[in-house]
Amino acid sequence: MSDLSFVRSEMLEEKAPPPSSVGVVGWARENLFDGWFNSILTVASLGAIFFVLSAILPWVFSPTWNGTSLNECRDILASAGGEGGHGGACWGVIRERWIQLIFGFYPAELYWRPILAFILLGVSLSPILFAGSVPGKLIWLSAVYPFVFPWLLWGGTIWAPFGALLGFVFGYGAYRLLAPVIGGLGALIAAIVVPIIWWLVLMGGFVSFMDANLGIGIEAVESRKFGGFMLSITIGVVAIACSLPLGVILALGRQSDLLIVKSLSVGFIEFIRGVPLITLLFVASTLLNIFLPPGTSFDIILRVLIMVTLFASAYMAEVVRGGLAALPKGQYEAADALGLDYWKSQRLIIMPQALKISIPGIVSTFIGVFKDTTLVSIIGLLDPLGLSQGIRANAEWNGIVWEIYGFIAFMFFIFCFSMSRYSMYLERRLRTDHR
Amino acid sequence: MSDLALDRTVDRSHMSVSDKVAIEISGMNKWYGAFHVLRDINLTVYEGERIVICGPSGSGKSTLIRCINRLEEHQEGSIVVDGTELSSDLKNVDKVRSEVGMVFQHFNLFPHLTVLENLTLAPIWVRKTPRKEAEETAMHYLEKVKIPEQALKFPGQLSGGQQQRVAIARSLCMKPRIMLFDEPTSALDPEMIKEVLETMIELAEEGMTMLCVTHEMGFAKEVANRVIFMDAGQIVEQNEPNEFFDNPQSERTQLFLSQIL
């Protein structure tokens, strides 16, 4: 028998791992004190964190909640032993103005309307965000909600949102009626043209007629009374909700074999991406009035909504295109080989996968759009940043900086962080490749 | 190249070639840009035929069968599948595609859908079959390819051989009259090749019209009624399998066979 030969005579029993490698001690050894260099780094990092927090936390936890002006805050701090105005935050400004930072100058007796609108927003988003874990019937609320939302916020006659909804009904009706007669493409064009004619030409008459004969409505609120986070969320939600479908259409257009569709999509995307958002907002606030016929009043928030949506959809289109490019060609071929037509294979095979791949990019774009809504303060809309200038100019609060901006930043962080966490949840839920 | 190690003899009782034409390709030419990839292809396939197409890589054999369901467009000549001529008319193309099943080298299952959903998708959306009926058909074919227990898993959880059998079942759910196989076993481990070939043989035993691009010469000998050898974009030689392997006529064929057998 040679030296290389080996035969095990009995199998080994399972043993517990050494105590120093499991539990809290094992974790700390492995992650914090793994060698002398890492131990020094750990201690130094803890020291740095302690240093920063010891400067910030006393400032944050300052007993100034009831202060009614910056001077009063300083008095409270001085009597509590601080050294004047810089030793602690002056939270009185948030207590006094938080409602304004949220609702702007919206009439106080009508606050229930935006509150209801945003609660309904959550409810109508739930069948989309958490499909499968809420009743499926809620999707009908989601379908009607885009018309309820502006009506609750701006008020006025119920016939305006109803008329807008009718446009979609007419478009669908035109498609169903004409598709058997003149074919799919002609019916599709009719389904786009009919609602546009309705909205631009006929709807005004219908709304005023119905309002005169059967006036149902709630008190109207003008756009200039909108402000605060209500305005940011309104712009953000509309831009987010509209930019995704628009972006998908643009991305498909950019990949199209039809030369004109392709060039229009590429031209639009490249133009919008090549121009700063602030320029588009200035166009919305000033230039657009010059080009529109005299006497047309075109709501400023609506104009901003359109611009922000177009801006976001150009970015969205590129994110979605990235997802499309990542799909193997075999997926298109398999869908074709089974006899699925273009739209069915896009809807059932390509888009579900492309959008799933692009979730991180899509959510980044969403977050970017939501934060970009603060730019509207430059054209005079009173979003939280626009309001903060007014508050800081106020005699009582003149000199306040960190508290307001900190509060605004904190609110934005809550929204953006939620979106980010949601996208991680969604990625986990949709993971089917089991890598 | 190994011979097909089959545990049983192939049942030829239903393998009969009818005189009805399934596919008629005449004077077909195709170019990729300036590259002449298919040259003057003339091929008539009768119902019930089991044709194996072989040849060196780049000879145009995959392109040929991809032209039959118009995954590739030909520029000259005509292809008539089951009485429908392939042209730029999308209605004809979709009609042909729903009657011609295709199995790919890399399976091309839809990873975001379960196995069952992969199988029912086309029947439901193209054939407008009610969901329940489509699911019953799907389970029937899953049992046929011997993996009914995997119905609710995702393709990513299956082995390569199982995925390819799901892909075959997915095509069969459309009740195709013709099946195209584009190197169905080239991406598989040896023991998985066997289970996929087994499924293909069973299909042939039931009288399915099949065109297979494959390097499995054992399969060609046992199952095919005709072997086509392609090189440089043209059909160089075609014959019955016995004659083809024992007595190849063209020098090019002799060279090819001497290298792979």
Residues of A within 8 A of B69 (CB-CB) are: 336-337
Residues of B within 8 A of A331 (CB-CB) are: 108, 110
Write out the two tokens for A252: 């498909």
Instruction: Report yes or no: A341 at the B interface, CB cutoff 8 Å.
Output: yes
Q: Which residue in A338, A342, A434 has the most chain B C-beta atoms within 10 A of its own C-beta, making it the best mutation to test that interface? A: A338
Instruction: Report yes or no: A352 at the B interface, CB cutoff 8 Å.
Output: yes
Residue of B nearest to A349 (CA): B110
Nearest CA of chain A to the CA of B82: how many Å?
15
Q: What is the pLDDT of residue A46?
A: 94
- CA separation for the pair A365, A322 (Å, rounded): 13
DSSP symbol at A286: I
Q: What is the pLDDT of residue B53?
A: 93
Q: What is the pLDDT of residue A83?
A: 56
Instruction: Report yes or no: B92 at the A interface, CB cutoff 8 Å.
Output: no
DSSP symbol at A382: B
Q: Name the E strands within B89-233.
A: 100-103, 178-182, 209-213, 226-231
Q: What is the pLDDT of residue A434?
A: 58
Partner-chain contact A338 B108, CB within 8 Å: no
Per the CB < 8 A criterion, the answer to whether A382 and A105 are in contact is yes
Nearest neighbour of B104 by CB, restricted to A330, A352, A430 = A330
Q: Cβ contacts of residue A362 below 8 Å, gap of 6+? A: A244, A316, A319, A320, A355, A423
Q: Higher confidence at residue A188 or residue A271? A: A271
Instruction: Report yes or no: A336 at the B interface, CB cutoff 8 Å.
Output: yes
Q: What is the pLDDT of residue A84?
A: 47
Nearest CA of chain B to the CA of A421: how many Å?
22
Where residue A276 falls (left for φ over 0; alpha for ψ -120 to 50; beta otherwise) is beta
User: Is residue A332 scored above 70 in pLDDT?
Assistant: yes
Neighbours of B133 (CB within 10 A): 13
- CA separation for the pair B118, B125 (Å, rounded): 12
User: Is residue A173 scored above 50 in pLDDT?
Assistant: yes
Q: What is the pLDDT of residue A51?
A: 93
Helices (H) and strands (E) in chain A, counts: 19, 2
Residue of B nearest to A337 (CA): B97
- CA separation for the pair A319, A361 (Å, rounded): 6
Task: Determine the average pLDDT of the residues in B63-85.
Answer: 91
Q: Cβ contacts of residue A19 below 8 Å, gap of 6+? A: A25, A26
User: Cα angle vertex B189, ends B187, B194, to 5°?
Assistant: 100
Output the CA torsion B196→B200→B203→B204 (10° steps): -160
Task: Determine the average pLDDT of the residues in A60-77.
Answer: 84
Instruction: Report yes or no: A337 at the B interface, CB cutoff 8 Å.
Output: yes
Between the alpha carbon of residue A79 and those of residues A6, A63, A70, B191, the distances in Å are: 84, 11, 14, 85
Q: pLDDT band at residue B68, thresholds of 50, 70 and 90?
A: very high
Q: What is the pLDDT of residue A85?
A: 45
Q: Cβ contacts of residue A408 below 8 Å, gap of 6+? A: A101, A384, A385, A388
Instruction: Report yes or no: B90 at the A interface, CB cutoff 8 Å.
Output: yes
Q: What is the pLDDT of residues A111-163, one digit of tens each?
A: 899 999 999 998 888 888 887 777 878 888 888 888 888 888 888 888 888 88
Instruction: Report yes or no: A426 at the B interface, CB cutoff 8 Å.
Output: no
Residue A123 amino acid letter? V
Partner-chain contact A331 B110, CB within 8 Å: yes
Nearest CA of chain B to the CA of A363: how many Å?
20
- CA separation for the pair B220, B51 (Å, rounded): 8
Q: What is the pLDDT of residue A265?
A: 94
Instruction: Report yes or no: B124 at the A interface, CB cutoff 8 Å.
Output: no
> Across all residues in chain A, what is the average pLDDT?
87
Share of chain A above pLDDT 70, in %: 96
Q: Per mean pLDDT, which of A341-355, A393-407, B13-27 is the most reliable?
A: A341-355
Q: What is the pLDDT of residue A208?
A: 81
Residues of A within 8 A of B153 (CB-CB) are: none
Nearest CA of chain B to the CA of A137: how many Å?
20
Instruction: Report yes or no: A339 at the B interface, CB cutoff 8 Å.
Output: yes
Write out the two tokens for A81: 């032993």
Residues of A within 8 A of B122 (CB-CB) are: 338-340
Nearest neighbour of B112 by CB, restricted to A334, A344, A432 = A432
Instruction: Report yes or no: A334 at the B interface, CB cutoff 8 Å.
Output: yes
Partner-chain contact B112 A356, CB within 8 Å: yes
Q: Which residue in B68, B93, B112, B124 has the most chain A C-beta atoms within 10 A of its own C-beta, making it the best mutation to test that interface? A: B112
Residues of A within 8 A of B90 (CB-CB) are: 341
Task: Determine the average pLDDT of the residues in A410-421.
Answer: 93
| Pairs across A and B, CB distance < 8 A | 70
